[in-house]
Amino acid sequence: MTPSGIQLRPAVPADLAAILALERATENAPHWPRAAYAAILAADLSAAPLRSLFVALRDCLLVGFAVAHVDPASDPSSARVAELESIAVAPAMRRSGIGRALCAAVLDWCRLQAATEIVLEVRAASAGAIALYASLGFTEIGRRPRYYHHPEDDALLMRLPLAGIPAPFSLDS
């Protein structure tokens, strides 16, 4: 369910400046170049890997976004793995359900792309993010020591199987 007053939708090119501003203001975001976000927004939807970029708006202002991709299976009978690559919520809007709603939108999109599981990595010190992911059913599957820099931190690897899990959210609701 989307928090009251929040609109979720796929990002459009007009969102690029606001996405970059929020990403740059989010200390632990990956800080991709502008061209990386522009490429996602301009991507041919039939290209591989498939990518999504969802935004959360409140009063027409961008307050969050999430990026995911799904790699195509080399063999149609094999698993398709998705990755939650980045998620950011404006500091004043955290703990209001926006991160959960963005994750749910990503999970639904991954299911539509026939992904069988989704993985992510998160800073070990990001207790709030880890709690959110765990509440969605993600479990820790590994750790990369000293993966992050400035500040140095381990990366926790987390996974959620998608088969058999009902969709928690729909962009149509």
Going through 19-136 in order, the beta strands assigned E by DSSP cover: 50-58, 61-70, 81-89, 117-123
Per-residue pLDDT of 83-110, as tens digits, reads 999 999 999 999 889 999 999 999 999 9
Residue 169 pLDDT > 60: no
Q: What pLDDT, on the 0 to 100 scale, is given for residue 47?
A: 60
- Of residues 87 and 48, more confidence is placed in 87
Q: What pLDDT, on the 0 to 100 scale, is given for residue 48?
A: 58
Per-residue pLDDT of 108-118, as tens digits, reads 999 988 899 99
Residue 146 pLDDT > 80: yes
Residue 170 pLDDT > 60: no
Separation of alpha carbons 48 and 37, rounded Å? 16
Q: What pLDDT, on the 0 to 100 scale, is given for residue 173?
A: 38
Q: What pLDDT, on the 0 to 100 scale, is given for residue 76?
A: 65
Q: What pLDDT, on the 0 to 100 scale, is given for residue 2?
A: 73
Per-residue pLDDT of 13-47, as tens digits, reads 999 999 999 999 988 788 889 999 998 888 765 56
Cα 99 to Cα 3, 90, 91, 148: the distances in Å are 10, 10, 11, 22
Q: What pLDDT, on the 0 to 100 scale, is given for residue 29?
A: 81
Question: Which structural domains are found in the chain, ordered by start?
Answer: 6-161 (3.40.630.30)
Separation of alpha carbons 166 and 124, rounded Å? 28
* 140: enclosing H helix or E strand: strand 139-148
Q: Which of 17-21, 155-159, 168-172 has the lowest mean pLDDT?
A: 168-172
Question: Which residues are within 8 A (CB) of 142 and not within 5 positions of it... i.e. 6 or more apart?
Answer: 156, 157
19 torsion bin: left (phi>0), alpha (psi -120 to 50), beta (else): alpha
Across the range 56-77, mean pLDDT stands at 86
